[in-house]
C-alpha cells in the first residue's frame, strides 16, 4: 500500500527521501513522488512507475536542493495510476504540499464545495481535497488550518504536510493509518513504516489516532485533535538494516523462506524455560481462561490461514470452541461475542485495517484481545490486551513466509501454555508436544536443504494453468496457504479444497492433465485423504503428493511424485508442510519470470478497507 517518508534537517532532503521510498517499495505501489522546499517555493517531481524513474527525473532537474521534504509511493485507489494522480498533491497556489495514505471518504462532497468556490482540481484523487482545503482554511496559522481540515474530513489517513510559508517544519497527522516519527541529531523523519527510517535512526514514536505532530530539525511537538500537547513514549527499534536487504539472494521471498528455522527458533526459544512454556507477556488469569466460552480468531489472508490451522490445534488442546473469521467479514456479521470470548487477532504488519477494525469491534462487544503480531509497536499490538510478538524480523517480500511460520509457532505456544493452565493436557502429551516444537527449527533446516527437488518438480509442473490443493484437517489448512502462495506470486489459477468436499461439485473441473497437489501428511485422516487422491487420479489428474517421510511409499503408489517432510507431532504438521508449498510457489513463479517480491496489484500492508 502507499508509503510516506518525510525529512527535516540539515542535509539535502531529496536523496534521503528517495532512499526511504526505495525501502518502502516492498509495500507495493504504482507511482511515486517527492516535494522539497527550496528558495521560497515547493518543487514537486512525481511519476507513474518505479522509484528508479522518479530518481532519474529528480536528477534531470539538477537533484532538488533543500533540506525539508516529503516523499510518497502510491497504490491507486481513487483515480488511475498516472503522473498527475501521484502524490504529493499541491494546493492551487502551489504553497502547500500533501502526501496521504488511506481514503478520504467524503472527498466528493468537499471537492464539490471547493469547486463551487472556484477551486480547480488537477487530479482525480481524494487526497487533493486535503491540499485544496488546507489552502482554503489557511490564514497564516498552519496548525489551525490543519485542525480545521481534520475536523472536516472523514475516513482514514496518515498525512504529511509541507507549507512554503513555514519552511522549517513538517506537519503529520494520523487516523487509522500508521505513521511513525523518528528522532535524530539535528533532524526528524516521519514515515509510514519503520523500515524507511532505520537507516537514520532507531529512536521512534508511533502517532496515535487523532494526533498531530509538528517537526523541525531540532524539535518535535505532538498534539491531540484540539492542539493540546501530548507526551509521547519513545521506543527503540532493534531490527537490523541488513534484515531488510537481500543478502545475496535473488529475491527477498527466498531469503525469508530460508530464514524460517532461525525465525521459529527466535520466536519459541525465549518462551521455553525448564521444560515449560512461559508467556511472561500475558496476564490472563486461570479463572479467566477456564471461564472462556469461545475463542474467536480474526485475521486476513495468510494470517487467516494460520487461524484455520490454529482452530484444529487449539480445539484439540483446549477443548474450547474456536471460530475463525475473516476480519473483513467479522464486523458485518453481527458476531456473537461476550466477556467470555477471547479474540485472537493475527497480523504480521499489525496495521491491516480490516483486522484492526475487527479488533475494535470485538473489544466493543466485550471480548479481550490477544494478538500475534510481527511489527513491534504497531497499532494492533498497542490496542490489544495482550500481545505475543513473532520474532521474524522485517518481512519485505509481499508474500508472507517467515511471518506465517512464526505465527504458527506462537499458536502452538499459546496452546501449550493455556492447556497447562486449564488442565486440558496430560503431562506426557505436553512434554511430547513441547519437545516436537523445539525440534522444528532443525527439521525446517532439513527440508530447506532439499529445495532442489522442489525446484525440479516446479520445472515439470509450472505450465499447468490450473492447480488444486486438496487435504483434510491440518493438511487442508496448509493447502489453503499453498494455493494462496502459488496464485499470488505466479498468477496461476489455483484453489484449495477440503479433500472430502471435492466430490460435491469441484471434481467436475478435474480432467486429464489437471494438476492436483495432494497433502496427505495428517495420520488420523490419511486413508480418507488417499481415497480422494485416488478419485482425482482416476479422472486423469497429474498428482503431486506431500506427506511425512514414513508415509512416502503409501502415497508414492498413487501419485506421480511425492515430496516428504520429516515426521513431527501431528499438531505441528503445518509448520513443516508449508515450506515445500512456499518453495513450489516460488520456483513456479521464477519460471514464469514474475516479479516475485512485488506481485502485481498486491501490497504488503493493506491499510484500506
Give the residue numbers marked as catalytic: 2, 604
Could you tell me how far CA 254 lies from the centroid of its own chain? Answer: 17
d(CA 105, CA 85) in angstroms, rounded, equals: 17
Task: Give CA separation, 294 vs 189, 323, 364, 445, in Å.
Answer: 43, 8, 17, 36
Toward ligand F6R, which CB reaches closer, 123 or 302?
302
126, 148 in Cβ contact below 8 A?
Answer: no
- Mapped onto helix, strand or coil, the DSSP state of residue 502 is helix
Toward ligand F6R, which CB reaches closer, 67 or 379?
379
d(CA 28, CA 60) in angstroms, rounded, equals: 25
Toward ligand F6R, which CB reaches closer, 458 or 606?
606
Residue 86 is placed in which grid cell? 501521484
- Scanning 259-378, the segments in alpha helix (DSSP H) are 260-268, 286-291, 301-318, 327-330, 353-364
568, 368 in Cβ contact below 8 A?
Answer: no
Binding site for ligand F6R (CB under 6 A): 300-303, 347-349, 352, 355, 399-400, 484, 488, 605-606
Toward ligand F6R, which CB reaches closer, 30 or 193?
193
- 387 forms beta bridges with 371
Toward ligand F6R, which CB reaches closer, 57 or 302?
302
Instruction: Provide the pairing of β-strand 96-104 with 322-326.
Output: unpaired
E-state strands within 166-275: 170-175, 180-184, 187-191, 203-206, 212-215, 220-223, 235-236, 272-273
Instruction: Provide the pairing of β-strand 187-191 with 180-184.
Output: antiparallel
Instruction: Provide the pairing of β-strand 89-90 with 96-104.
Output: antiparallel
CB of 288 to ligand F6R, least distance (A): 26
Toward ligand F6R, which CB reaches closer, 51 or 300?
300
Phi, psi of 279 (to 5 degrees): -105, 80
329, 375 in Cβ contact below 8 A?
Answer: no
Find the residue with minimal CB distance to ligand F6R: 301
Amino acid at each position: 500500500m502507499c508509503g510516506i517518508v518525510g525529512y527535516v534537517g540539515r542535509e539535502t532532503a531529496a536523496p534521503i527521501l528517495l532512499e526511504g521510498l526505495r525501502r518502502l517499495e516492498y509495500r507495493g505501489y504504482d507511482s511515486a513522488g517527492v516535494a522539497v522546499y527550496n528558495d521560497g517555493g515547493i518543487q514537486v517531481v512525481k511519476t507513474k512507475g518505479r522509484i528508479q524513474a522518479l530518481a532519474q527525473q529528480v536528477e534531470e532537474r539538477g537533484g532538488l536542493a533543500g533540506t525539508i521534504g516529503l516523499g510518497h509511493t502510491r497504490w491507486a485507489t481513487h483515480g488511475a495510476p498516472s503522473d498527475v494522480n501521484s502524490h504529493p498533491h499541491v494546493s492551487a497556489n502551489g504553497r502547500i504540499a500533501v502526501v496521504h495514505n488511506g481514503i478520504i471518504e467524503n472527498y466528493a462532497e468537499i471537492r464539490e464545495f471547493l469547486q463551487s468556490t472556484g477551486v480547480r482540481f488537477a487530479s482525480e484523487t481524494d487526497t487533493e481535497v486535503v491540499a485544496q482545503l488546507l489552502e482554503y482554511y489557511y490564514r497564516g496559522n498552519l496548525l489551525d488550518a490543519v485542525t480545521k481540515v481534520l475536523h472536516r474530513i472523514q475516513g482514514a489517513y496518515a498525512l504529511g504536510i509541507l507549507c512554503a510559508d513555514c519552511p522549517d517544519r513538517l506537519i503529520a497527522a494520523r487516523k487509522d493509518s500508521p505513521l511513525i516519527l523518528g528522532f535524530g541529531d539535528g533532524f526528524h523523519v516521519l514515515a509510514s513504516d519503520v523500515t524507511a527510517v532505520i537507516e537514520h535512526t532507531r529512536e521512534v514514536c508511533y502517532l496515535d489516532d487523532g494526533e498531530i505532530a509538528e517537526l523541525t530539525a531540532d524539535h518535535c511537538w505532538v498534539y491531540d485533535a484540539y492542539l493540546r500537547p501530548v507526551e509521547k513514549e519513545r521506543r527503540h527499534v532493534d531490527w537490523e538494516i541488513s534484515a531488510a536487504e537481500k543478502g545475496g539472494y535473488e529475491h527477498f521471498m527466498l531469503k525469508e523462506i530460508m530464514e524460517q528455522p532461525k525465525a521459529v527458533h527466535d520466536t519459541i526459544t525465549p518462551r521455553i524455560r525448564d521444560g515449560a512454556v512461559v508467556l511472561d507477556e500475558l496476564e490472563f488469569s486461570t479463572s479467566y481462561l477456564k471461564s472462556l466460552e469461545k475463542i474467536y480468531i480474526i485475521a486476513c489472508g495468510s494470517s487467516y490461514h494460520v487461524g484455520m490451522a490454529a482452530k484444529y490445534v487449539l480445539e484439540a488442546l483446549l477443548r474450547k470452541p474456536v471460530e475463525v473469521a475473516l476480519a473483513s467479514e467479522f464486523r458485518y456479521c453481527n458476531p456473537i461475542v461476550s466477556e467470555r470470548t477471547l479474540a485472537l487477532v493475527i497480523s504480521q504488519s499489525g496495521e491491516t485495517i480490516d483486522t484492526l477494525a475487527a479488533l475494535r469491534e470485538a473489544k466493543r462487544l466485550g471480548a479481550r484481545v490477544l494478538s500475534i503480531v510481527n511489527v513491534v509497536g504497531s497499532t494492533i499490538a498497542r490496542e490489544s490486551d495482550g500481545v505475543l510478538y513473532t520474532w521474524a524480523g522485517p518481512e519485505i517480500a509481499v508474500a508472507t513466509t517467515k511471518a506465517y511460520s512464526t505465527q504458527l509457532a506462537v499458536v502452538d505456544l499459546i496452546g501449550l501454555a493455556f492447556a497447562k493452565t486449564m488442565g486440558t493436557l496430560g503431562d506426557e502429551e505436553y512434554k511430547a508436544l513441547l519437545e516436537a516444537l523445539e525440534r522444528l527449527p532443525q527439521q525446517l533446516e532439513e527440508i530447506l536443504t532439499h529445495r532442489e527437488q522442489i525446484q525440479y518438480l516446479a520445472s515439470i509442473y509450472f505450465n499447468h494453468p490450473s492447480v488444486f490443493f486438496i487435504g483434510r484437517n491440518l493438511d487442508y489448512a496448509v493447502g489453503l496457504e499453498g494455493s494462496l502462495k502459488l496464485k499470488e506470486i505466479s498468477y496461476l489459477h489455483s484453489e484449495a479444497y477440503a479433500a472430502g468436499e471435492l466430490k460435491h461439485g469441484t471434481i467436475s473441473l478435474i480432467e486429464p492433465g489437471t494438476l492436483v497437489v495432494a497433502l496427505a501428511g495428517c495420520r488420523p485422516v490419511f486413508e480418507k485423504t488417499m481415497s480422494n487422491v485416488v478419485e482425482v487420479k482416476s479422472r486423469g489428474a497429474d498428482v503431486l503428493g506431500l506427506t511425512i517421510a514414513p508415509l512416502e511409499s503409501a502415497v508414492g503408489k498413487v501419485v506421480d511424485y511425492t515430496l516428504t517432510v520429516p515426521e513431527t507431532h501431528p499438531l505441528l504438521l503445518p509448520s513443516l508442510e508449508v515450506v515445500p508449498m512456499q518453495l513450489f510457489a516460488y520456483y513456479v513463479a521464477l519460471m514464469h519470470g514474475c516479479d516475485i517480491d512485488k506481485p502485481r496489484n498486491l501490497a504488503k500492508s493493506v491499510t484500506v478497507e
